[in-house]
Amino acid sequence: MQIIENSKVKEKLYIEKLENGLTVMIIPKKGMKKKYMIWGTNYGSNDNVFVVPGENTKTKVPNGVAHFLEHKLFEQENGTNSLDTLTALGVDANAFTTNDMTAYLFACTDNFYPAMDELMDYVQNPYFTDENVEKEKGIIGQEIMMYDDYPDWKVYLNAMQILYHNHPIKIDVVGTIDSISKIDKEILYKCYQTFYNLSNMAIVVCGDFEPEKILEEIKQRLKKSKVNGEIQRIYPEEPDTIVKERIEQKMEVSRPMYTIAIKVKPTDNPEEMVKKDLAIQILLELLVGKSSPLYKQLYDEGIISGGIGASYEFSENYAHVMISGQSNEPEKIYDNVKQEIAKMKTNGIPENAFNRIKKKIYGEYVKDYDDVENIANMFLTNYFMGINTFAYLNQIDNIDVEYLKQVLNDVFKEDKMVISIVKN
């Protein structure tokens, strides 16, 4: 088992790639009562066109299959539901699907091993029938309609619609009523066998564990599996340009909601991914963070009353910056953000503010290591992008004002900016 240590947070990562291809990561937390396990597959809503290992032809599946599959795995052949079984054990269990991955998880203080039995059993034993697939369409159909009524989800999704021409990031993770109507048990089994092969998956456990012992416990619960070849994922060509600059939708909201998004050229270099992510986080704090001049100005003028959300979402094949919130004058915020970016490009980056924010972000990363769920989720998500999470603590020292200027000019471009508004 490989041991990677980070002296800054005094944490150790034990990592092993098993013969069947599964990667197991263990982060021991001596004396911590809470235990957490997450089992993920490198398979999300973006993976709708692919070549199955061993085949030569493309497989295209309807939108929403990854999420549909996540729902269905809980249902067992004996009529029980694994989520109910886990809840009865007193553990906090859940699952989620994103654009890039699907994960099954639980957190507990007691009953870790019985919960682990259940989790590892249901993830490895799919049970799909014509009847239970049809029944699920009704349940997920209601979920789709519910999301359609969420203005904060629509304002984000609409921004993706005008930011991207072809990339599946613009498609809702859950699919549409029409797309899920085309899903059948054969499609589910094919996607399961392709993407739930152990060589495409990783487990992370975090808590008071002896690494060798917990690794053996995991091995004992794994079904025999041979390593699949590499899955060829096919994404459409995506131009650098945006589709259009503005989109507006009317919904019942107390105040208009907005999402400003900036299309960013993605990179598949893990080291560059981490550096760029850290630099963008610092730049967003400088631009719209609570200590920024723009935030104070907008607050004093009554244009905003609460915080401004800012984040950077990325993978190997898409990337975008987002700034979002509520305001009666979203267009004014959009104009001010553009002006503030131009001002920063002209006047340069204030050294004092840069150093303060850099320390703040470093402190937040260190604090993440106090929580077993945060740690495990970070390591799993980053692993599928080829990133070791400790890299964030090491790379932040390499961010200087010069690099920040470079990222500011490369990323924060006016012709790559869009605004999505939802108003009454």
DSSP string, 331-384: HHHHHHHHHHHHHHHHH---HHHHHHHHHHHHHHHHHHTT-HHHHHHHHHHHHT
Residue 296: exposed, middle, or buried by beta-carbon count in 10 A (0-12, 13-18, 19+)?
Answer: exposed
Residue with tokens 């061993």: 54
Of 111, 87, 103, the residue nearest 381 (C-alpha)? 103
Residue with tokens 């199955």: 52
| Type and span of the H or E element at 107 | strand 102-108
Cβ neighbour number for residue 84 with a 10 Å cutoff: 12
Cβ neighbour number for residue 334 with a 10 Å cutoff: 20
What is the identity of the amino acid at 314?
F
- The vertex-356 CA angle with 351 and 361, nearest 5°, equals 125
- Phi, psi (degrees; rounded to nearest 5) at 27: -120, 100
Q: Rounded CA gap, 53 and 55, in Å?
A: 6
Do 12 and 27 meet the contact criterion of CB atoms below 8 Å apart? yes
Active-site residue, 136 included: no
And the tokens for 356? 């303060």
Do 26 and 211 meet the contact criterion of CB atoms below 8 Å apart? yes
Of 112, 120, 99, the residue nearest 39 (C-alpha)? 120
Do 349 and 286 meet the contact criterion of CB atoms below 8 Å apart? yes
Active-site option among 5, 19, 70, 134: 70
Which residues are identified as catalytic?
Answer: 70
